Amino acid sequence: MPKTVIGSAVSNDFEPLAVSPRQACMLLSIGNTRLYELIGNGELVAYKDGRARRVTMQSIRARVARLSAAAGCK
């Protein structure tokens, strides 16, 4: 489990706000080309921090929710 620091104690409930493109591909089970298509058409939100690109977890979760709703999943 990921870890966060609370004061001097360590907690295991940390979730990143953004992930690398490679991690986003793994989370969504898609390829690199498809990921950049989704970023290009605005379905996923990405930004650059220096030379590193990051994809927001909020946009990843929103995409999964949209796909689940379209498929009739609860």
Q: Residues 62-72: pLDDT tens digits?
A: 999 999 999 98
Q: Is residue 56 part of a domain?
A: yes
**Residue at 13 is within a domain:** no
Tokens representing 11?
């907690």
Judge whether residue 56 has pLDDT over 60: yes
Decide the pairing of beta strands 4-6 and 46-49.
Answer: unpaired
Which residue has 């953004």 as its token pair?
18
CA neighbours within 13 Å on the CB side: how many for 45?
8
What pTM did the predictor assign? 0.79
d(Cα 23, Cα 16) in Å, to the nearest integer? 11
Q: Is residue 44 part of a domain?
A: yes
Number of domains in the chain: 1
In a domain? residue 5: no
Q: 45 in a domain, yes or no? A: yes
Domain-located, residue 33: yes
The residue range of the domain holding 40 is: 18-70
Kindly state whether residue 4 falls inside one of the protein's structural domains. Answer: no
pLDDT reported for residue 62: 97
